[in-house]
């Protein structure tokens, strides 16, 4: 029996307002259990079929999840609009935003002034040929098959499209732990359930990947380099070990998110090859050319790319050819490859400066590639708060983590070596006061 008070509350939440509004207004919280179909039908005085249909819709929208014997719950990360973060106090150095250094991005104005795009009409190809050709060369140079490609609106758009053509709401997906919060939010938004894979500086651990696949994961999402938030990157040895694991799961979809591309600071390695039936690699230009260029190229097996293209024609139809042509113009500029190499080296120097400075205090941070350094701390909330009081804004690791221990993410994209030393000293004073004091 359901207590009368509980029935009244549930009628208020589910009868007067929608579940979505109830979540948004914090009447129910992420992780809260929901009644079974039969119980809720009794409470609301409707048929079980009506409740079952409503639950199915809510699952498809990522608002609720079904956890087997644990029943139905409010999703841990329901896809609802978040409040804009409060502006940082004056004088605080922002190492939380995750942006590339504007000084290392190309001049869009010059390329735009030289752009003379043709008129774009319905019925024309989804992808701009010269952009495809440019990425065929880049993928092939990195040993990534590039026979089938399509242009998408950024890395997350490519991942979402590839997932949707093979999986359905309720399916499980193996993800890195910690993982890029955009990937976690995406999975919850489309009703898929993440299964964590522990990682180290070389990417997913083979035992963790096998454990996730044994739990029934139908897809694996891996960041081959510039992993956000940890800076982890695959190397040749780890690729061999992970491919050995994946050979035992030939029907699993493999997705790689190479969002940083040429500015990652390490060479590309891939788990994908033409022997697998379902795979895709997406490479974005957001970190190398600028976040406002919502352009990425997805390469994969013939079936995956054909399905993605079919879905694109039905839905958004194409990615702006003005943006596609702009990316081609930028990549074709004289000296652009040298500029990208300079950006890559600069980010590497900045990562190393902070990792080395922290190591001098006995703090082991991770940051092999990309724009971020992951720093283990005993208490994220306290560390973030105290650093903000001392003039540094960093990101707590909670949103990135599933089962991994506490840490903070520091975006080092614009962090000079002198500031890296100062920041390391402040972190040490907070997490290891005695060690920091001994170096003063």
Say if CB 260 and CB 232 are below 8 A apart: no
pLDDT beyond 90 at 359: yes
Question: Residue 66's pLDDT is what?
Answer: 72
Least trusted range by pLDDT, from 27-31, 35-39, 227-231, 400-404: 27-31
- Which pLDDT score, from 0 to 100, does residue 47 have? 80
Dihedral, 410, 222, 238, 266 alpha carbons, nearest 10: -50
Measure the CA–CA gap between 370 and 410, rounded to whole angstroms: 11
Residue 256, H or E segment: strand 253-258
From the number of C-beta atoms within 10 Å of its C-beta (0-12, 13-18, 19+), residue 218 rates as: buried
Query: Is residue 15 very low, low, confident or very high in pLDDT (cuts 50, 70, 90)?
Result: very low
Cα–Cα–Cα angle for 259, 138, 346, nearest 5°?
A: 55
pLDDT at 8 over 70: no
CA proximity to 193, closest of 176, 166, 174, 207: 174
Taking alpha carbons only, the member of 255, 343, 267 closest to residue 299 is: 255
Model confidence, pTM: 0.83
Give the chain's end-to-end CA distance (angstroms, integer): 65
The predicted model gives 279-306 an average pLDDT of 96
* Cα–Cα distance for residue pair 266/346, rounded to 1 Å: 12
> What per-residue confidence (pLDDT) applies to 81?
56
- According to CATH, what is the number of the domain 117-332? 3.40.640.10
In this predicted structure, the answer to whether residue 5 has a pLDDT above a threshold of 60 is no
Q: Which residues pair with 66 in a beta bridge?
A: 72
Q: Which CATH class is domain 93-102+337-438?
A: alpha beta
Each residue's pLDDT tens digit, 58-74? 776 667 777 666 778 87
Q: Mean of the pLDDT values across residues 130-153?
A: 95
Both structure tokens of 356: 């080395």
Average confidence (pLDDT) over 403-410? 96
The band of 12, judged by pLDDT with boundaries at 50, 70 and 90, is: very low
Domain boundaries, the chain: 4-74, 93-102+337-438, 117-332
Please say if the pLDDT value at position 52 is more than 80.
no
Closest CA to 160 of 173, 178, 142, 148: 173
Widest Cα–Cα separation across the chain: 74
- 406 vs 400: CA distance, rounded Å: 10
Beta carbons within 8 Å of 158's beta carbon, 6+ residues apart: 152, 280, 282, 284, 296, 298, 308
Residue 284's pLDDT band (boundaries 50, 70, 90)?
Answer: very high
Instruction: Let me know if domain 4-74 sits in CATH 1.10.10.10.
Output: yes
Please determine, for residue 75, whether its predicted confidence score (pLDDT) is greater than 80: no
Other C-beta atoms lying within 10 Å of the C-beta of residue 203:
27
Q: What is the pLDDT of residues 311-325, one digit of tens each?
A: 876 766 778 889 999
What was the pLDDT predicted at 76? 66
DSSP structure string for 124-140: S-SS-HHHHHHHHHHHH
Please tell me the least confidently modeled range out of 25-39, 197-211, 260-274, 392-406.
Answer: 25-39
Which H or E run contains 93? strand 93-94
Cα separation, 150 vs 306, in Å, equals 9
221 or 78, higher pLDDT: 221
Which tokens go with 15?
């009868």
Distance CA 225, CA 74 (A): 33
For residue 355, what pLDDT is reported? 98
| pLDDT tens by residue, 407-426 | 999 999 999 989 999 999 99
Q: Which residue has the tokens 């040298």?
A: 338
pLDDT above 50: residue 205: yes
Over the chain, what is the mean pLDDT? 88
- Name which residue leads in pLDDT, 120 or 240: 240
For helices 321-332 and 336-359, give the axis angle rounded to 10 degrees.
80
Rounded to the nearest angstrom, the gap between the alpha carbon of residue 208 and the centroid of all alpha carbons in its chain is 19
**Vertex 206: Cα angle to 282 and 268 (nearest 5):** 35
Residue 172, strand partner residues: 193
Q: pLDDT: is 435 or 186 the higher one?
A: 186
Token readout for 140 is 């092939």
Alpha-helix runs per DSSP H in 61-123: 108-114
């Amino acid at each position: 029996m359901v207590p009368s008070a509980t029935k009244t509350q549930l009628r208020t939440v589910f009868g007067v307002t929608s579940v979505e509004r109830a979540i948004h207004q914090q009447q129910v919280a992420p992780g809260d259990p929901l009644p079974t179909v039969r119980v809720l039908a009794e409470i609301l005085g409707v048929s079980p079929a009506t409740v079952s249909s409503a639950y199915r819709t809510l699952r498809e929208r990522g608002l609720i999840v079904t956890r087997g014997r644990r029943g139905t719950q409010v999703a841990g990360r329901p896809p609802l609009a978040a409040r804009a973060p409060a502006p940082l106090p004056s004088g605080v150095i922002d190492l939380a935003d995750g942006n590339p250094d504007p000084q290392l991005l190309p001049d869009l104005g010059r390329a735009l002034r030289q752009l003379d795009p043709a008129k774009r009409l319905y019925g024309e190809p989804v992808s701009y040929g010269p952009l495809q050709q440019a990425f065929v060369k880049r993928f092939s140079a990195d040993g990534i098959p590039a026979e089938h490609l399509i242009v998408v609106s950024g890395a997350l758009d490519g991942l979402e499209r590839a997932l949707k053509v093979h999986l359905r709401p309720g399916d499980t997906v193996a993800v890195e732990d910690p993982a890029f919060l955009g990937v976690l939010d995406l999975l919850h938004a489309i009703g898929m359930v993440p299964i964590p894979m522990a990682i180290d500086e070389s990417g997913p651990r083979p035992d963790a990947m096998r454990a996730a696949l044994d739990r029934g994961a139908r897809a694996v999402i891996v960041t081959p380099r510039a992993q956000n938030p940890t800076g982890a990157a695959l190397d040749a040895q780890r690729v061999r070990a992970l491919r050995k694991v994946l050979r035992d799961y030939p029907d699993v979809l493999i997705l790689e998110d190479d969002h940083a591309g040429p500015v990652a600071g390490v060479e590309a390695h891939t788990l994908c090859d033409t022997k697998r039936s379902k795979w895709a690699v997406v490479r974005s230009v957001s970190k190398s050319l600028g976040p406002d260029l919502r352009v990425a190229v997805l390469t994969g097996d013939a079936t995956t790319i054909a399905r993605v293209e079919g879905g694109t024609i039905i839905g958004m139809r194409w990615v702006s050819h003005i943006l596609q042509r702009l990316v081609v113009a930028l990549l074709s500029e004289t000296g652009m490859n040298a500029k990208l190499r300079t950006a890559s080296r600069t980010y590497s120097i900045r990562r190393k400066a902070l990792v080395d400075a922290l190591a001098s205090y006995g703090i082991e941070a991770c940051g092999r590639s990309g724009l971020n350094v992951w720093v283990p701390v005993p208490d994220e909330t306290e560390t973030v708060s105290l650093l903000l009081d001392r003039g540094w804004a960093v990101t707590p690791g909670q949103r990135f983590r599933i089962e991994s221990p506490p840490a903070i993410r520091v975006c080092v994209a614009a962090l000079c070596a002198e500031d890296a030393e100062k920041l390391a000293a402040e972190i040490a004073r907070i997490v290891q006061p005695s060690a920091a004091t001994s170096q003063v």
